[in-house]
Amino acid sequence: MSKYHAIKDDEESVLPGSSSQGNRRSIEPSTPLLSGSNTDEVQIEIEDEPGSASSFSCVINLANTILGTGMLAMPAAVASVGLIFGSLMIIYAGTASALGLYLLSRAAAKTGGRRSSFFAVSKLTYPWAAIYFDLAIAVKCFGVGTSYLIIIGELMPEVVAASVWGAEYDLLLDRRFWITVFMLVIIPLAFLKKLDSLRYTSLLALVAIVYLIVIVIYNYFGPDYRAPPSDKIHFVRFSSKFFTYLPIFVFAFTCHQNVFTIYNEVGDNSQTNINKIVFGSIGSSAMVYQVIGILGYLTFGEDVSANIISMYTPNTFITIGRIGFVICVLFSFPLQCHPCRACLDKIISAITTNDTDANKPSDLKYFLMTSGILIASYLIAIIVSQLDLVLSFVGSTGSTAISFILPGLFYYKLYQDDPWDKEKIVSVCLAGYGCVVMVVCLTMNVLRVSAGH
């Protein structure tokens, strides 16, 4: 009886799958066949599970991952550099992010099949650092997800305070109460195993984003608009505030933690279709940032705060917008939980069994990992009311690494034997740019701490 073994992923040459078929992986015998006089080897082909997600749902999920708290602070970021430079910075940040996504998708194709991940690519490039890469991604996603709970705890009491019935019940003004209530909604969403399962909640979150856009547009073009003094508006401005708000531009388009899941789940994961998904999500998000950033700045001038929705006079229209943003971050939490859990799975497998090639975690392991993420996020959000400085450190390291440094390093390593071309040069430049951004942002955060801000 013949024994069979599977060829390793990094020894295969597998083309990206299509919408109708999964990717095939060869299995060949390790000993000659007993029948017959020759020693020809027989190959048996098995197929990976084909992708079922539509391109539209992938665009929605990526866009929802991108659009978050950065929208509220974008007008202040534009104010730090002026209208023209601020608009150009949004375009530049989106372009740099799209380059990172493109390089990661090229790296995903090298892993073979539909089991790509940061860990899988790390094994092909820098095996010794794979576990540390996934740890950085897990910490980053966990921190952002926890910040969403804190935002819910801050906004909902404001919503209640603006209502006619909120003042009668002190419990409804307690941030911990609202974090607990919304955590009950998040739990079933966080346990969904496929990112594509979140397409409807992501679409609902994008509706809330559209409502925020309407608020900003109406308050600028509406009858109650009062233009700020002319000396409060600048077309180009250079000040030290630019370095304070640089992370907002840099991290506004971070969604790279989900690009491998998109590659694995989309029906047609050819490079052409992946490029369309990247362009659709980055392009639509850039337009949202342009509208909110520019009109928000023109409405309040350089005095605009880091939370644009808090600048408007409370009324029913604005209160609904705050509720909408709570819904936005509520449904964005699972989009952070999904990659965080995937990274933890790889880390735990590497530590406990030294086997990172398992297709799927067991039901028990899946339950324990998800529960651990939810419980830890909940406890931190209940105890801590301000995580802005902590998240700025996490973002300066984790977000920069997965957006710029790792995509550049991965692509260069995978194609190091190929002749130098534009893509290879861009990959090295992107990694270098990420290192500079990391040093600058970490330095500014350290200065903020030392200054007591």
More reliable by pLDDT, 154 or 102? 102
Residue 63 near residue 206, CB atoms below 8 Å: yes
Q: Which two tokens stand for residue 312?
A: 């408007």
Lowest mean pLDDT among 38-42, 198-202, 262-266: 38-42
Q: Which two tokens stand for residue 285?
A: 């998000």
CA distance linking residue 147 with residue 144, whole number of Å: 5
The neighbouring-strand residues paired with 45 are 26
User: At residue 13, does pLDDT exceed 80?
Assistant: no
Residue 438 near residue 401, CB atoms below 8 Å: yes
- pLDDT on residue 115: 82
CA distance linking residue 208 with residue 196, whole number of Å: 19
Q: Which two tokens stand for residue 127?
A: 């095996």
CA distance linking residue 285 with residue 173, whole number of Å: 33
HSE-CB at 113 with a 13 A cutoff on CA atoms is 19
Residue 309 near residue 76, CB atoms below 8 Å: no
pLDDT tens digits, one per residue of 233-257: 889 887 767 777 777 787 788 888 8
Cα dihedral across residues 146, 148, 149, 154: positive or negative: positive
pTM: 0.77
Percent of the chain surpassing pLDDT 90: 26
Q: Which two tokens stand for residue 179?
A: 């974090």
Largest CA distance in the chain: 93
- pLDDT on residue 387: 56
Task: Read off the pLDDT band of 449 (50, 70, 90).
Answer: confident
Instruction: Specify burial of residue 336 (Cβ count, 10 A radius: 0-12, 13-18, 19+).
Output: buried
pLDDT tens digits, one per residue of 304-346: 887 788 788 878 888 888 888 888 788 788 878 888 898 888 8
Q: What is the dihedral of CA 375, 378, 382, 387, to 10 degrees?
A: 120
Cα dihedral across residues 374, 376, 377, 378: positive or negative: positive
Distances (CA, A) of 193 to 96, 184, 255: 30, 18, 18
User: At residue 219, does pLDDT exceed 60?
Assistant: yes
- pLDDT on residue 243: 72
Task: Read off the pLDDT band of 145 (50, 70, 90).
Answer: confident
- What average pLDDT score do residues 398-410 get? 89
- Neighbour tally for 69: CB within 10 Å: 22
CA distance linking residue 313 with residue 183, whole number of Å: 29
- pLDDT on residue 179: 93
Pure H helices in 403-421:
406-414
pLDDT tens digits, one per residue of 375-401: 999 998 898 776 556 666 777 777 888
DSSP tag of 27: E
Position 222: which residue type? G
The neighbouring-strand residues paired with 46 are 25
| Residues whose CB falls within 8 Å of the CB of residue 20, separated by 6 or more in sequence, listed in order | 50, 267
Q: Which two tokens stand for residue 351?
A: 């530590």
Taking only Cα atoms into account, the Rg of the chain, rounded to an integer number of angstroms, comes to 24
All structural domains of the chain: 4-47 (no CATH), 55-451 (1.20.1740.10)
Task: Read off the pLDDT band of 352 (50, 70, 90).
Answer: confident
Residue 233 near residue 301, CB atoms below 8 Å: yes
User: At residue 1, does pLDDT exceed 50?
Assistant: no
Position 399: which residue type? S
pLDDT tens digits, one per residue of 47-80: 456 667 888 888 988 888 888 777 888 898 899 8
Q: What angle do CA 98, 102, 107 make, to 5 degrees?
A: 145
Q: Could you tell me the strand order of the sheet in which 44-47 lies?
A: 4-6, 24-29, 44-47
Instruction: Specify burial of residue 450 (Cβ count, 10 A radius: 0-12, 13-18, 19+).
Output: exposed
In this structure, the strands spanning 4-6 and 24-29 are antiparallel
**What are the contacts of 206-209 at 24+ separation with CB within 8 A?**
206/60, 206/63, 206/64, 206/67, 207/324, 208/324, 208/325, 208/327, 208/328, 209/67, 209/71, 209/288, 209/324, 209/328
Query: Directed axis angle between helix 316-352 and helix 175-190, to 10°?
Result: 50
Q: Distance between alpha carbon 207 and the CA centroid of its chain, in Å?
A: 19
End-to-end Cα distance, the chain = 72
Q: Which two tokens stand for residue 143?
A: 């921190």
Residue 118 near residue 402, CB atoms below 8 Å: yes
Q: Which two tokens stand for residue 206?
A: 């994008």
Lowest mean pLDDT among 37-41, 177-181, 223-227, 326-330: 37-41
- pLDDT on residue 25: 44
| Residues whose CB falls within 8 Å of the CB of residue 391, separated by 6 or more in sequence, listed in order | 143, 144, 147
